[in-house]
Structure 1
Amino acid sequence: MAATQRINVGVALAAACATALSGCTTGASRPQQGARKAAGAPAPGSGVRLIGDGSTAFTGAQPHLPRAERLKPGQRPPQFVVFSWDGAGEDSQKLFSHFRKIAKANNATMTYFLSGVYMLPEEKRYLYKPPQHTPGSSEIGFNDENGIKNTAEQVRMAWLEGNEIGTHFNGHFCGNEGGVGQWSVDEWKDEIAQAKAFVKSWKTNAGLKEEPSLPFDYDKELIGARTPCLEGQKNFMQAARDLGFRYDTSGVNEQVWPKKKDGLWDLSMQLVPFPGHTYEQLTMDYNFMVNQSGTQTQGDPDKFEEWGNQMRDGLLQGFQRAYDGNRAPLIIGNHFESWNGGTYMRAVQEVVERVCNQPDVRCVSFHQLVDWLDAQDPQVLERLRTLKVGQAPAEGWESLTAAPPAPAPKGVPGAPPVTP
């Protein structure tokens, strides 16, 4: 993470304000020094409970998290779209804060996969003991005080706006030399525990005890993830299932309705059309980049606009064939990076603006999507899964989402025999 410009955040944006509980003040009405408790401490009677050193706090139900409803008989499913971000953090590019604003302006919520080492200062790097690597190692570095403070602010506000905070774990180790693909189930559990620990102790580790708390219990908030480089999925999923996770999004799939795999919802990213090519492309900015400029993150500037348009149009084509076809949720993954001149950030923003305000479209977090999936009739979901990519039901949605016939009353022809 690059060093970030310090942002002045009033200490009164404490976790107590998270759910409009009593006792919240603004910076302008802050009590005199010495007359107040440490910043982030809950006001008396506010109902806020600090956790550990106060880096996190229980503040009640998450605001703006809608209650999932079961499809009505014969109802066409909404078109879900999930925008998710790997290794979410706020640096000098300010892309986290930018896309928070884009989401709010377009009636969307998103999933932010926070990297635990983005909440750990460089001077405390030795606290991270990655599996199969030297303590203090990380392929994506660590953070500094300003970066941690600014990332915590974005995480806090994102959650209050109804977005989800997942995890992208810590050191982002890929490949065959101790990469996540070689980690055991127990090593994955250790990595997850450390990712949680850095989020739950960022105030102490960064010396930022006066900052407001993150307004959630991370042990309960954390229900899903995406593995680095999409590696190590099998053992991660076993560890995640044992730890109570509800979904994984580390795989590659077609645009079909999801199902559970090893006890977790498989919400893998998907293959969509790749304009100008005969093959399809994964719904992730990194994969578009690799197929356009190779491993060069800043390729030919003359092609930046073309490359961004390819990603935008590929995602839009994937959206449209689902919207007009099987209505399978569209799963999109991104990074807060300015690869190829920021062309992919521009592409994602244009997709958000074009699709999230259309009728019957819900741009949601993974948390909201799994809540909805869990609320549905399993038989209806099974029928939806019979639809192929872009295939609308030939006999109408009523044929798939109608309730099964009610059992005949006992004693009439065709009724089950009466059991004595």
Structure 2
Amino acid sequence: MRGRVLAVCALAVALIAGLAGCSGSEEVPKGAPGAKKAPGAAPQNAVRLIGDGSTAFTGAQPHQPTWQRLKPGQQPPQFVVFSWDGAGEDSQRLFSHFRKVGKKYDATMTYFLSGVYLLPEEKRKLYEPPQHAAGRSDIGFNDTEGIRATVRELRGAWLEGNEVGTHFNGHFCGKEGGVGNWSVEDWKSEIRQAKSFVKNWKTNSGLTTEQPLPFDYDKELVGARTPCLEGRANFVQAASQLGFRYDTSGVNDQIWPKKDHGLWDLSMQLVPVPGRAFQTLAMDYNFLVNQSGTTQGDPSKHAYWGNQMRDGLLQAFNRSYHGNRAPLIIGNHFESWNGGTYMRAIEQTIATVCVQKDVKCVSFRQLADWLDAQDPAVLAKLRTLKVGEAPRGGWAAFLAPQPSAPSSSARPAAKRN
């Protein structure tokens, strides 16, 4: 994966024992803010291998919240979504690290897997990218031990309640053959192949004795982020036709989301850049571009740049938390750019916001579940609040039940002359 030496972790446990939650870190505290129900693993008779055994049906995903519709006058929770593009485990071991961070602070996240991270280099020709020759990928492929490590982290992440989405495959950006020029049918092909690499990683890698991923990816995959945030218009059409529930590939302000082509538009948002007179997207890469412009910037500025990102995210959080309560959407990469300063910024942000009252650090799928559970009229009213705007008169008055219009039978009869 990108030429790195990939981490190796031997895993020698039985199938059912592994599905019971071999995660390598402590359980989520029951009293933590936004604590979720934590049912045990599916009983043994519920485990059903799918296809070549790369995936398996194991029952309902553990650690999922049960959402309720807001009561009249009730203040909405403050949702925060942390997500990772191209999620894979390599020698930096950032995937496994942030799984531990998530458990420590009760933060459920979304991991957008790049399908080629489950495809070995020697099988690269199995990938037929739209508008490119077979076997082409701008982010490379993986090796056997990298696949083993990545699958281990995906398995544990899902059992802990996190979401596995997709960042597709070859990560083609720019004009020539880039995703911005892909048709609806091109996107459908890319989605089918992303699913195929997940559903057939055992056959493709030769790791036939490893445990399966404990989910049916055809049902699990309900959302995505496109490479470089390009090609969204046609992707949304394809995703809608294929039953996706959300997209996070656009650019939004910090306001309440709405649907586009039947999908929740949960795009990343513009957030402050402290000390600068502009905003940028809530993502490590975008802060980097506005700071060093390179992944290897001046080491003497690393701490400042990380603090700037952290403080910008916290400013964005606070204006929403004390304002319109719109969900805050944050994206990242498992990278050590500028000495890992952005990883530090994200970890400090998680530690600060996810422990606060009424804050729910959730996956995109969980946020979509909450939105679907709400009264559409209430969501429409929430969308009238601007960035950082708290409702006048407070939440109790703003979301108070509206008097129903009198029916025609209740109107007074017109007087006759």
TM-score of the aligned structures, taking structure 2 as reference length: 0.91
Post-superposition offset of 1:280: 0.7
Aligned positions, number: 393
Aligned residues with identical type, % of pairs: 69
TM-score of the aligned structures, taking structure 1 as reference length: 0.90
Using a 3 Å threshold, how does the CA distance of structure 1 residues 204 and 410 change in structure 2: closer, same or farther? Answer: same
Conserved in 2, the CA contact under 8 Å of 1:308 and 1:344? yes
Q: State the partner residue of 1:7.
A: 9
Task: Please list, as runs of the form range in 1=range in 2, the aligned pairs for 1:167-182 lying within 5 A after superposition.
Answer: 167-182=166-181
Using a 3 Å threshold, how does the CA distance of structure 1 residues 242 and 43 change in structure 2: closer, same or farther? Answer: closer
SS in 2 for 1:209: coil
Q: State the partner residue of 1:320.
A: 318
The Cα offsets for residues 396-419 of structure 1, whole Å up to 9 and x where unpaired, read as 11233233335769965579xxxx
Q: 2:330 aligns with which of 323, 329, 332?
A: 332
Using a 3 Å threshold, how does the CA distance of structure 1 residues 411 and 188 change in structure 2: closer, same or farther? Answer: closer
Using a 3 Å threshold, how does the CA distance of structure 1 residues 74 and 175 change in structure 2: closer, same or farther? Answer: same
Post-superposition offset of 1:259: 0.4
SS in 1 for 2:49: strand
CA distance in 2 between partners of 1:91 and 1:175 (Å): 26
Conserved in 2, the CA contact under 8 Å of 1:15 and 1:214? no
Post-superposition offset of 1:11: 3.2
Using a 3 Å threshold, how does the CA distance of structure 1 residues 410 and 183 change in structure 2: closer, same or farther? Answer: closer
The Cα offsets for residues 355-386 of structure 1, whole Å up to 9 and x where unpaired, read as 00000000000000000000000000000000
Post-superposition offset of 1:263: 1.3
SS in 1 for 2:377: helix
Conserved in 1, the CA contact under 8 Å of 2:185 and 2:238? yes
Task: Please list, as runs of the form range in 1=range in 2, the aligned pairs for 1:85-234 lying within 5 A after superposition.
Answer: 85-234=84-233
CA distance in 1 between partners of 2:358 and 2:327 (Å): 12
Q: Where in structure 1 are there 5+ consecutive unaligned residues? A: 25-41, 416-420
- Opposite residue 317 of structure 1, the aligned amino acid is Q
Q: State the partner residue of 2:80.
A: 81
Q: State the partner residue of 1:39.
A: none
CA distance in 1 between partners of 2:386 and 2:53 (Å): 49
RMSD (CA atoms)? 1.9
Conserved in 2, the CA contact under 8 Å of 1:255 and 1:329? yes
Q: State the partner residue of 2:19.
A: 18
Conserved in 2, the CA contact under 8 Å of 1:384 and 1:400? no
CA distance in 2 between partners of 1:127 and 1:250 (Å): 26
Q: Where in structure 2 are there 5+ consecutive unaligned residues? A: 23-40
The Cα offsets for residues 286-342 of structure 1, whole Å up to 9 and x where unpaired, read as 000011111x21110010000000000000000000000000000000000000000
- Opposite residue 269 of structure 2, the aligned amino acid is Q
Conserved in 2, the CA contact under 8 Å of 1:252 and 1:270? yes
SS in 2 for 1:213: coil
Q: State the partner residue of 1:293.
A: 292
- Opposite residue 47 of structure 1, the aligned amino acid is A
Using a 3 Å threshold, how does the CA distance of structure 1 residues 188 and 43 change in structure 2: closer, same or farther? Answer: closer
- Opposite residue 105 of structure 2, the aligned amino acid is N
Conserved in 1, the CA contact under 8 Å of 2:42 and 2:59? no
The Cα offsets for residues 200-236 of structure 1, whole Å up to 9 and x where unpaired, read as 0001100001000000000000000000000000000
Task: Please list, as runs of the form range in 1=range in 2, the aligned pairs for 1:304-383 lying within 5 A after superposition.
Answer: 304-383=302-381
Using a 3 Å threshold, how does the CA distance of structure 1 residues 45 and 7 change in structure 2: closer, same or farther? Answer: closer
The Cα offsets for residues 174-200 of structure 1, whole Å up to 9 and x where unpaired, read as 000100001000010000000000000
Conserved in 1, the CA contact under 8 Å of 2:173 and 2:179? yes
- Opposite residue 117 of structure 1, the aligned amino acid is V
